[in-house]
Amino acid sequence: MTEPLLSIERVSHEFGARRALLPGRRTHLAVDDVSLTIGAGESVALVGESGSGKTTLGRVVAKLITPTAGRVLVDGRDVGALSGRELLAYRRTVQMIFQNTQHAFNPRRRIRDILADPYEIHGLPAPDGRDAALGELLERVGLHASMLDRYPHQFSGGQRQRVGIARALSLGPRLIVADEPVSALDVSVQAQVLNLFARLRRELGLSLLFISHDLRAVYFLCERIAVLYQGRLVEVAPRERLLEHPLHPYSRRLIAAVPGLGERDSAEVSQAEAPGPAPAPGVAAESPAAAAGCHYASRCPLYARLGAPERCRAERPALRPAAGGSAVACHFATEGEEPGANVSSVVSEEVG
């Protein structure tokens, strides 16, 4: 087995941890003991609802924040202590693309200046001159060299996201962290940007950590899908496996929620909804009972059906390997367990 490009080892991040001594200050465990690897050229998705910690984990990988516990390895090297030249080298290996295209660019700087930044900071070579290099960069993401002198607000959302991709690509990274790169765009424009990602992956052999709540986009782009729920990884599986045989009850619920998949007013789905909205972030992590046991138990239909087994309350489920390359963090989920079959039958009738 070759070394993975990226390994995340038991990473946790707690917001407000440094100030925990101040009275009345709440800390919030955004990422809770997550381990995950990405191979060279592989594309892995991080899915979950808002507050699941997926963005925080992405920012940890992009070294925008330093996790409060655990470490991140790239090519087997711990990246936690990098600084100076080594940090710059890391920036050339791992890049990030942001969700909000409106705020991802300084409104007072022309695209030319924005794209020139990486060249200036890293002293990248531009054999035919900087202008030619920048123009080529724009062409590569489907824009025109003539747009270099525009300001960010003169682009549409989709075009701005292309500029964001161009900025990341200029450094020739091997891994790109993409934080909800299409969710703020129109569906028709989403398809264009997703195509661009797919093309770049094929042409450049990029690895991708694709953060999204949109299972359709994720399925199109990523071979493996990791499901986060309130900071913990609940399931990691190859995409077909996750879609057709989701093991964790929460994964099942996510899949049932994809629009255009379920039958309307489907009884099975309504049931999954019954436990109500998610508790406020921070609450679950702090209650000792949840910290000890499974944090999904209070909303879990399987837990309810099994008659509230003691184990779910007492013991935190570890991520354990399952059939077909999946891994699931649930004491009781098994493939034979029914609602999975129910969902997959709906799914296999191709819709949309």
Partner 1 sequence: MTGDQPLLSVRDLAVEFGRGTRVSRPVDGVGFEVGEREIVGIVGESGCGKSLTLLALLGLLPSGGRVVNGSITFGGRDLRGADPSVLRSLRGRQVALIPSDAGAALNPVARVGKQLRLSLRTHHPDLTAQQRRGRALDALRRARLARPEQALAAYPHELSGGMQQRSAIALGLQNEPRLLLADEPTTALDVSIQAEILRLLVQLRDELGTAIVFVTHDISTVREICDRVVVMYAGQVVEQGGVEDVLTSPRHPYTAALLGSIPPLGGVPPEQLETVPGMPPDPAAWPGGCRFQARCRRFTELGEPDECTSTWPGSADGLALGAACHFPLEGVRR
Partner 2 sequence: MSAVAAVAATVDGPRTKRRWKPIVGGGLLGILALFMLVGPLISGYDPNATDLTARFSGPSAEHWLGTDDLGRDLFTRMAVGGRMTILIALGAVALASAIAVPLGLLTGYLGGWVDLAVMRVVDLFFAIPTLLVAIGIVGIFGPSFTTTMLALGLAFWPFYARLVRSAVVGVRDLAYTDAARVIGAGRWRIIRKEIVPALLPLLIVQTTVLLGFAVLDEAGLGFLGLGVQPPDASWGSLLAQSRGFVLSHPWIGVIAGVPILLVVLGINIMADVLRDRLDPQGAST
- Is 191 an interacting residue with respect to partner 1 (CB under 8 A)? yes
Q: Of partner 1, partner 2, none, which one does residue 261 interact with (CB within 5 to 8 Å by kind)?
A: partner 1
C-beta of 125: minimal distance to partner 2 in Å? 16
Q: Which does 199 bind (CB under 5 to 8 A by kind): partner 1, partner 2, none?
A: partner 1
Residue 336 site contact among partner 1, partner 2, none (CB < 5 to 8 Å, cut-off depends on kind): none
Q: Give the gyration radius of the chain's Cα atoms.
A: 21
**Sequence-ordered list of residues with C-beta below 8 angstroms from that of 187, at least 6 positions apart, any chain:** none
Query: With respect to partner 2, which residue has the nearer C-beta, 151 or 220?
Result: 151
* Contact criterion met (CB below 8 Å) for 345 and 256: no
Rule CB under 8 A: choose which of 18, 26, 50, 89 binds partner 1: 50
Q: Which long-range contacts (CB under 8 A, 24 or more apart) does 304-309 make?
A: 306/332
Q: Which of residues 261-290 bind partner 1 (CB under 8 A)?
A: 261-262, 264-265, 269-270, 273, 276-278, 280
d(CA 66, CA 271): 40
Read off the amino acid at residue 309. Answer: P
Instruction: Give the DSSP per-residue string, 222-266.
Output: -SEEEEEETTEEEEEEEHHHHHHS--SHHHHHHHHTSTTTSPTT-
181-203 exposure pattern, b = at least 16 Cβ within 10 A, e = fewer: bbebbeeebbebbbebbeebbee
Binding partner 1 by CB under 8 A: which of 100, 102, 106, 156? 156
The item of partner 1, partner 2, none sharing an interface with residue 345, based on CB under 5 to 8 Å by kind, is none
Binds partner 1 (CB under 8 A): choice among 15, 119, 151, 219: 219
**C-beta closer to partner 2: residue 108 or 144:** 108
| DSSP codes of every residue in 139-154 | HHTT--GGGGG--GGG
Q: What is the nearest approach in angstroms of partner 1 to the Cβ of residue 49?
A: 4
Rounded CA separation 162/117 (Å): 16
Tell whether residue 205 is a contact of partner 1 (CB under 8 A).
no
From partner 1, partner 2, none, which one binds at residue 64 (CB under 5 to 8 Å depending on kind)?
Answer: partner 2
Query: CB under 5 to 8 A by kind: which of partner 1, partner 2, none does 195 bind?
Result: partner 1
Residue number, 87 or 341, with CB nearest to partner 2: 87
User: Exposure string (b/e) for 136-158, b if CB count within 10 Å is 16 or more?
Assistant: ebbebbbbeeebbeeebeebebb
Q: Which positions lie near partner 1, rule CB under 8 A?
A: 49-51, 156, 186-192, 194-195, 198-199, 202, 213-217, 219-221, 240, 243-244, 253-254, 256-262, 264-265, 269-270, 273, 276-278, 280, 347-348, 350-352
